[in-house]
């Protein structure tokens, strides 16, 4: 592992959710997270100078640092001329199912929004261009990627205005997004992925086909992972209002097999396709998601 955290405990997502604004939440998480790293992982991504590298045939001649050549009579190149390192697209699921978890203090949507804000904050700090696309069964909001200093504010405002609503159809927005992106970059999908896994995976592979790296944050509430219900309960679908009366004790095993199978299918098939998959329990600190992102980022660039 390239970096390690201090002993400082991570922030409880429920505590983070109670912070005032998304910017404050994102800053609290990211600054705290970054202050805990022993050394910077961002070497090579800043618009500032990073390092010199000896010229090798095929390099763009315009990248040669002639001043260094004048002093040392050797060819070195640096890449500080590039404005941004990469485009990062945050895809946030705002379907109705993401609204679950209010009784824990933070819903999946809120957790995903804070995660998106934190990633946006982190990316903006790294001078990466960051964009935001919110979707349910269609794309409901889209903010193009940009590294401009004021872009973070626009992203946070956009996130703040989002509300959960309609049914999920993850694959359709994925395909739409994949068709619109022309530049290589990273797509970060934040969703509960309660959809047809084959369709979802097909949509994600579409990004890969376009040369875009994909990170999937599979956000699930703790209840959805453990199914801790005890009493006979009428379960009402957040998206379809479909109702099922069930005795948890009787259906728990079946449910856990189903959800476990879904998670395992995503983990296995996304991993097989080189897509980073991270299951996030809304009980778990957001910093872990940031770590996962940075890990992927560092491997890719």
Partner 1 sequence: MLSFLSPLFLAGAAAAAVPIVLHLLKREPETRVQFAAVKLLKKAPVEHTRRRHLRELILLALRVTALVLLALAFARPFFATGAAIGSTGVTIVALDTSYSMSAPGRFERAQQLARDAIDRAPANNLVGVVTFTDSAETTAKPDGDRVLARAAVDRAAPGFGATRYRGALSAASQNLDGRHGTIVVVTDLQESGWDAGDRVKVPANTAIEVADVGALPPNLAVTAARPLPDRIVATVHNAGPRPRDARVHLQIDGRPAGEAIVSLGANQSADATIAGAPRGTRAVVTIDDPDGIAADNARYVVLGGGSRPSVLVVTGSGDLSREAFYVQHALAAGAAGDAAFQVVGVSGAQLGSWTDDSVAANAAVLLLSTRGLERRGRELLAAYAQSGGGLLIAAGSEIDGDIVADVLGTGAALKVVAPTGSRPGVHTLAPADARHPVFQPFAGTTATLGLVKFQNASRIGGSGCQTLARFTTGDPALIECPAGEGRALVIASDLDNKWSDFPVHATFVPFVHEAVRYVASARAHASDYLVGDAPAGVKRVPGFATVPEGRASNPLRAGSAMRLIAVNVDPREADPARLTIEEFTSAVAPLKEAGSSEARVEVRQQEDRQHLWQYAMAVMALLLVAEGLLAARTA
Which C-beta is closer to partner 1: that of 233 or that of 273?
Answer: 233
Which C-beta is closer to partner 1: that of 194 or that of 204?
Answer: 194
Q: Which of 202, 244, 264, 300 binds partner 1 (CB under 8 A)?
A: 244
* 264 contacts partner 1 (rule: CB under 8 A): no
Sign, CA torsion 248/250/253/258:
negative
Query: What are the angstrom distances between the C-alpha of 16 and each of 10, 28, 122, 286?
Result: 10, 8, 16, 9
Instruction: Name every residue whose Cβ is closer than 8 Å to that of residue 91 and which is 6 or more positions away in sequence.
Output: 133, 135, 173, 174, 177, 187, 188, 189, 190, 191
Which C-beta is closer to partner 1: that of 157 or that of 244?
Answer: 244
The answer for 68, left when phi > 0, alpha when psi is -120 to 50, beta otherwise, is: alpha
Among 7-15, 46-54, 239-247, 267-275, which window interacts with partner 1 (CB under 8 A)? 239-247
CB of 259 to partner 1, least distance (A): 6
Instruction: Name every residue whose Cβ is closer than 8 Å to that of residue 216 and which is 6 or more positions away in sequence.
Output: 189, 191, 193, 204, 266, 270, 275, 276, 277, 278
CB of 224 to partner 1, least distance (A): 5
Alpha helices in 7-150 (DSSP H): 13-17, 22-35, 66-72, 108-125
Among 90-98, 124-132, 179-187, 285-293, which window interacts with partner 1 (CB under 8 A)? 90-98
Q: Which of 246, 265, 288, 298 binds partner 1 (CB under 8 A)?
A: 246
The helix (H) or strand (E) run that includes residue 98 is none
Distance CA 86, CA 185 (A): 5
68: which 2 tokens? Answer: 């260094």
Q: Which of 208, 255, 269, 295 binds partner 1 (CB under 8 A)?
A: 255
Among 13-21, 130-138, 171-179, 236-244, which window interacts with partner 1 (CB under 8 A)? 236-244
CB of 106 to partner 1, least distance (A): 14
Which C-beta is closer to partner 1: that of 129 or that of 193?
Answer: 193
Q: Which residues bind partner 1 (CB under 8 A)?
A: 96-100, 108, 192, 194, 221, 223-224, 229, 231-240, 242-247, 249-251, 254-255, 258-259, 262
């Amino acid at each position: 592992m390239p970096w390690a955290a201090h002993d400082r405990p991570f922030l409880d997502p429920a505590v983070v959710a109670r912070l005032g604004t998304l910017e404050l939440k994102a800053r609290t998480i990211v600054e705290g997270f970054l202050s805990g790293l022993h050394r910077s992982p961002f070497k090579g991504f800043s618009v500032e100078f990073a390092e010199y590298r000896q010229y090798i045939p095929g390099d763009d001649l315009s990248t040669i640092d002639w001043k260094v050549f004048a002093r040392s009579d050797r060819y070195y190149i640096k890449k500080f001329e590039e404005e941004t390192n990469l485009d990062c697209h945050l895809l946030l699921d705002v379907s109705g199912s993401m609204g679950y978890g209010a009784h824990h203090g933070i819903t999946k949507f809120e957790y995903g929004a804070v995660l998106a804000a934190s990633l946006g904050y982190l990316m903006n700090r790294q001078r990466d261009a960051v964009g935001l696309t919110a979707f349910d069964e269609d794309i409901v909001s889209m903010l193009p990627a940009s590294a401009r200093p004021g872009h973070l504010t626009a992203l946070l405002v956009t996130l703040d205005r989002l509300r959960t609503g309609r049914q999920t159809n993850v694959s359709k927005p994925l395909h739409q997004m994949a068709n619109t992106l022309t530049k290589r970059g990273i797509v970060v999908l934040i969703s509960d992925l309660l959809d047809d896994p084959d369709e979802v995976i097909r949509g994600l592979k579409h990004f890969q086909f376009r040369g875009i790296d994909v990170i999937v944050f599979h956000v699930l509430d703790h209840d959805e992972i453990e199914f801790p219900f005890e009493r006979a309960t009428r379960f009402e679908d957040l998206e379809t209002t479909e109702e099922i009366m069930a005795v948890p004790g009787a259906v728990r095993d079946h449910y856990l097999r189903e959800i476990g199978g879904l998670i395992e299918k995503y983990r296995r098939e996304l991993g097989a396709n080189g897509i980073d998959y991270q299951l996030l329990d809304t009980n778990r600190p957001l910093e872990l998601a940031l770590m996962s992102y940075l890990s992927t980022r560092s491997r890719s660039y």
